A and B are shown apart, each in its own frame.
Chain A
């Protein structure tokens, strides 16, 4: 879908509505730097990127772009708008509020929904950035253009999903619990098999339920036994209950859990400290390092300075990642160990709070263990999860282990019945945990399987991306070579192509043959201009893939670093490869603009020039010139009449603007004669007024700008002579036209300051009747 027109109002550099009137054709737009030509490209980017403009992101971190999008001097009541009109009559209109929010209307948005920014707009800085980028950055830039971005999204989502499964399944905690149950099982059942453990529980069931003919399934068996033992305990003597409770306390492995936390902390510190020290050393030169990684075979190690192969460095990075993963595992282990300690301390606290052990506790609390009970009562076990220091661990050992020891000693004096009850109770508890752990182990195994499956799937998706990338890249590479040979005929740089490195994920690079020698990177051999030329070929090859969709292509100042010869070749490239497309070329290079006007002929191309941008209130303006003086010169050889006439037309338009700016009042003429004044009318008046009002600085004073007066007089004389040229022969016309062009250009130039480059009307000088250039070198009195 071709664009018919782009209208801007108070958007970027635009003030009142200004229209890029493409009429669905291709166009070359000339404008000096800062004239506002890129504002039209910004409008297209704004639409394609959903309200973002990339080059504004530097200054505002991607946020608050409205500060750059809305003209800073938008008057109250005026709207910031952009409107894109399409060949089929549809339109897209966007109104942007000062806070950056926008509303859009029109059916034209449907047409642009499927356009890709990178295949629609190409700016000079983006070309340079692409070639300078690393393999990974090239991959990121090209992936959307290859049409594979959605696959990269799939791969990344899969990676995140695997992490999420790991977290949601609480795999680490489950593994820790399984290990703990295994340890208890070994202590209680020795090396007994699962069958033997179950048999032991069944035997206990028969012992406590003599009259029952059947034994339920294992877990129910444990539950029935637990209830029965609790009932028997309730019926037993106070002394027996005290001993069973103390037995439970005696078996709490506080010492073991403290040791586990300490051991995990030591392991963590052992891994963490040297790693952080090394990371700090590596991080400092990381910028230089990363820069070299994409292009060099070897790099200098930032730590020791030795040259090492890139592959070795990459292997090192891999091992570092594994070390970091190990630390994450250590952190998880420590966290779980602390959790187990917390739970044990909570059990200790609740067990010692039971009425069954109150008398025993009261006795000890008045003796040597007073401090221990005070400490236990004040202890917030839950708080340890976030603050479990070595001091806390020492306090637990010093204050609480004596309590456990006391319980162990007292439990030894228990009557046989109580001891048996306690032993059976523990056997049942551990048996129940063993049965439960089997389910937990099965859940953990399922989670591990799922994580491994997702890992395989991500690997498969990345392989799919690699295969597809290579296929598309092979096709594009043929176009790149074709375009390169147009831009660089007879140059010994050939076989330019993109490739997907086999040994690196998420990477794309450029290969070429330089004087018969294969090169892995354009950086190694190509000049700056050639690199940019290569970048242009790559993006044009991408854009060419959408040829059948007839979408426009905007090239914004893409030939800055091209020399004259190669700039000329661009014309051939555009005509050969994009002859059927709508192409909008924007340039600040007047010489190239003139060349393009001469070379891009035919009904499909139009040409427009912008006036220099002066201030935000005036905004972007199209030049009314029919052509530039260079255009006029270009016609001297073949059509000197047209050359002279063009110079006259330029003067007609430009001098009317000058007269308006300098408030030159001309006598009123009847009807439309006012609009038909010629350059001679203006020059006559400027010449007369200039003697009094046009001044240039001479030391501390101002004197009449004699050069300008002479130039005005000369230009006026030649213009009058040109108007009467009918009697001149063809041979005389050419030199006369040439003299006229020179004189006219000179006369207009003198309104601009040779020092600051600004027009004499640029700023108000002292006193309301004076205007001057920026530096005050020249001035005019109204």
Chain B
């Protein structure tokens, strides 16, 4: 696996700017996942479901009053 992971931080940061309601917890976890198993293999459905639940839990502290940017890029 490539150890050149800076691009992941950059792309996650870009996506976060478009979606400011996403929490720090989600951002941190996504970076970890993308640098780890997500770039090594196709994740099976059961594991994917667990990751989805974890991320939804990470979103629980999201401040919905901040509002989203309505367009991408």
Contact = CB atoms under 8 A, between A and B. Distances in A.
Nearest to B7: A464
A187 B72 CA distance: 39
Interface string B37-55: 0111111010011011101
| Best-surrounded residue of B16, B59, B62 (most CB of chain A within 10 A) | B59
A147 B2 CA distance: 8
Given A167-B52, A168-B52, A168-B56, A446 B21 contact: yes
A216 B53 CA distance: 33
Q: 5 tightest CB-CB pairs across the interface, nearest first?
A: A460-B11, A164-B52, A456-B15, A453-B19, A168-B52
A168 B49 contact: yes
Identify whether the interface residues of A are mostly helix, strand, loop, or mixed.
Answer: helix
A457 B11 contact: yes
B51 A161 contact: yes
Contact of A456 (B18, B51, B53): B18
Contacts of A460: 11-12, 14-15
Contact of B55 (A151, A450, A461, A463): A450
A165 B40 CA distance: 21
Interface in A129-183: 147, 150-151, 153-154, 156-158, 160-161, 164-165, 167-169
Interface string B12-46: 10111011011000100010001000111111010
A447 B52 CA distance: 10
A449 B68 contact: yes
A157 B15 CA distance: 16
A446 B15 contact: no
Contacts of B22: 449-450, 453
A207 interface: no
A304 interface: no
Contacts, number: 96
A731 B2 CA distance: 67
A456 B73 CA distance: 9
A446 B60 contact: yes
B52 A161 contact: yes
A445 interface: yes
A452 interface: yes
A727 B53 CA distance: 95
Q: For chain A, which range describes its interface: under 10, 10 to 19, 20 to 34, or 35 or more residues?
A: 20 to 34
A358 interface: no
B56 A169 contact: yes
Given A445-B64, A446-B60, A450-B26, 13 more contacts: A154-B39, A157-B43, A160-B48, A161-B43, A161-B52, A165-B56, A449-B19, A450-B22, A452-B68, A453-B18, A453-B26, A456-B19, A459-B72
Contact of A164 (B42, B48, B72): B48
Contact of B41 (A153, A450, A456, A461): A153
B50 to A, nearest CB: 9
B3 to A, nearest CB: 11
A280 interface: no
B19 A150 contact: no
A714 to B, nearest CB: 68
B7 A157 contact: no
Contacts of B55: 161, 165, 450
B58 to A, nearest CB: 9
Contacts of B59: 446-447, 449-450
Contacts of B39: 150-151, 153-154
Nearest to A147: B2
A71 to B, nearest CB: 34
B35 to A, nearest CB: 9
Interface string A429-461: 000000000000010011101101100110111
B61 to A, nearest CB: 9
Nearest to A152: B39
A439 to B, nearest CB: 11
A154 B49 CA distance: 16
22 contacts: A150-B2, A153-B41, A154-B39, A157-B42, A158-B34, A160-B42, A160-B43, A160-B45, A161-B43, A161-B48, A167-B52, A445-B64, A447-B56, A449-B22, A450-B59, A452-B68, A453-B18, A453-B19, A453-B22, A456-B14, A459-B73, A460-B15
Contacts of B68: 449, 452
B63 to A, nearest CB: 10
Contacts of B40: 150, 153
Nearest to A464: B7
B69 to A, nearest CB: 10
Given A450-B26, A456-B72, A460-B15, A165 B21 contact: no
B30 A457 contact: yes
Contacts of B52: 161, 164-165, 167-169
A167 B21 contact: no
A449 B72 CA distance: 13
A131 B73 CA distance: 35
Nearest to B56: A169
Given A447-B59, A453-B22, A156 B42 contact: yes
A446 B11 contact: no
Nearest to B46: A164
Nearest to A150: B39
A445 B39 CA distance: 28
B38 A157 contact: yes
Nearest to B58: A450
A154 B7 CA distance: 12
B38 A450 contact: no
B16 A453 contact: yes
Given A164-B48, A446-B21, A450-B55, A457 B15 contact: yes
A567 B14 CA distance: 51
Contacts of B48: 157, 160-161, 164
A465 B73 CA distance: 17
Nearest to A457: B15
Nearest to B27: A453
A731 to B, nearest CB: 68
A446 B45 contact: no
A450 to B, nearest CB: 5
A158 B30 CA distance: 10
Contacts of A459: 72-73
